[in-house]
Amino acid sequence: MKTCTIINPVAVVALTAIATIVSHTNPVSAQSLRGSGASFPEPLYKRYQTEYERETGKKFKYTDVGSGGGIRLFINKSVDFGSSTFIPTPIEQNQMEDGLLMVPTGGGALAIVYNLKDVTTNVKLSRDKLAKIFTGQISNWQQVNPRFPNKEIQVIVRSNSSGTSFILSKYLQKITNGKIAASRKPNWGFEVFSSHPQDSGVAGEVRRIDGAIGYVQVNVAQTNNLPIARIENQSGRYVRPTLEETKKALANIKFQEDFTTENINDPEDGYPLASLTWLLFRQRYPNQDTVTASKELLTWILTKGQSFNEELGYTKIPENVTQKVIESINNEFKVSPY
């Protein structure tokens, strides 16, 4: 004899309600971690997104809003993690109620890009001329090289609180003995041609304007097929921002206990406009799911993820450092006791 199972519609409704409650109280399993911040590492983090999902089936989302914007959103808890190419100030760190772990992910270079349609030779910029261009003291391309056209230099910069602006202004501060202030949003001291909130906007404007000059992360410059200037380093060599020259510039950096580094102002060798970049994660989280998702993502980035860095022109973080960071992640990431 066949038996029939009678389904109680009330029970079905109850079970559905329970499932709905569980799904809404377990947000991390239902959606990916969200992060925002620096444009400098964006090409690298986009690659991480693709590879992490392909390998693990898990996702995270990263949005370029500038280093300053990433820190602000992190403080306000509008994102799960932030990103910055400069170290948050003590005042900013004091506002991070759930603690902070700075996670270094790679080193990269800042390219000085330009558009001179009638010039086929490489542009070389001495330390002195680079500083004078970005302070308005040199305003015509013939002042850079007498063979260049009599054309006004149109300086294009970032408009927001930017790690790329900080890298450039910090270097200019060093080579001018402090005459230029290092700043996330510099006062260039003259009227620039235009400003844009993202590296992609700067790149697009440089590509559009004959006579333009600007600064973007080197991968952005290459993607946009922009000419890149050779920059004079401390030893007097004119170098391009290749991976090899970036490695030389970052070869002797020392990591401190919190995984930040001393200022990389003016390396003796290699390409001078180089910097590390960091992810900003909390030490305390509202639930175990977020702790687990954060640990898994960062462990992947610091191990398998590092294998993609050099393909995109970023240096790797030394393995002895990544192991210490992973130990800190495992020891410090906890659920808040409330």
pLDDT digits (tens, 9 = 90+) for 25-78: 344 444 589 999 999 999 999 999 999 999 999 999 999 999 999 999 999 999
Q: What is the pLDDT of residue 263?
A: 66
Shared domain check, 131 and 206: yes
Helix (H) or strand (E) holding 303: none
* Residue 2 pLDDT > 50: no
Q: Which of 198, 250, 191, 193 is nearest to 224 (CA)?
A: 198
User: What's the sign of the alpha-carbon dihedral 57, 322, 68, 163?
Assistant: negative
Q: Which of 296, 321, 267, 330 is nearest to 105 (CA)?
A: 321
What is the average pLDDT value for the chain, to the nearest integer?
Answer: 90
Q: Supply the CATH number for residue 245's domain.
A: 3.40.190.10
Q: What is the pLDDT of residue 14?
A: 38
* Residue 7 pLDDT > 70: no
Mean pLDDT of 285-290: 93
Name the more confident of 198 and 3: 198
Shared domain check, 51 and 73: yes
Shared domain check, 121 and 102: no
DSSP 163-222: HHHHHHHHHHHHHTTTSS---SS---SS--SEEESSHHHHHHHHHHSTTEEEEEEHHHHH
Domain that holds residue 291: 31-107+274-335
| pLDDT band, very low/low/confident/very high, at 264 (cuts 50, 70, 90) | confident
State CA 175 to chain mean position distance: 24
Token readout for 78 is 């509008």
Give the per-residue SS3 of 233-252.
CCCCCEECCCHHHHHHHHCC
Shared domain check, 311 and 331: yes
* Residue 5 pLDDT > 50: no
Q: What is the pLDDT of residue 141?
A: 97
Residue 154 lies in a domain: yes
Residue 208 lies in a domain: yes
Shared domain check, 94 and 145: no
* Residue 13 pLDDT > 50: no
Q: Report the number of distinct structural domains present in the chain.
A: 2
User: Would strands 124-125 and 230-232 be described as parallel, antiparallel, or unpaired?
Assistant: parallel
Shared domain check, 320 and 280: yes
| pLDDT band, very low/low/confident/very high, at 338 (cuts 50, 70, 90) | low
Q: Indicate the burial class of 220 (C-beta count within 10 angstroms; 0-12, 13-18, 19 or more).
A: buried
Q: What is the pLDDT of residue 16?
A: 40
Shared domain check, 239 and 117: yes
User: What's the sign of the alpha-carbon dihedral 247, 251, 253, 257?
Assistant: positive
pLDDT digits (tens, 9 = 90+) for 201-234: 999 999 999 999 999 999 999 999 999 999 999 9
d(CA 133, CA 278) in angstroms, rounded, equals 29
Shared domain check, 155 and 45: no
Report in angstroms the alpha-carbon separations of 136 from 114, 116, 156: 16, 18, 12
Residue 185 lies in a domain: yes
Which residue has tokens 């910069």?
A: 157
Q: Residue 256 — φ and ψ, nearest 5°?
A: -90, 180
* Residue 127 pLDDT > 60: yes
Which residue has tokens 């329970």?
A: 18
Least confident stretch, 13-22, 23-32, 160-169, 214-223: 13-22
- pLDDT-above-90 percentage for the chain: 82
Q: Which residues contact 268 (CB under 8 A, 6 or more apart)?
A: 233, 234, 235
Q: What is the pLDDT of residue 32?
A: 86
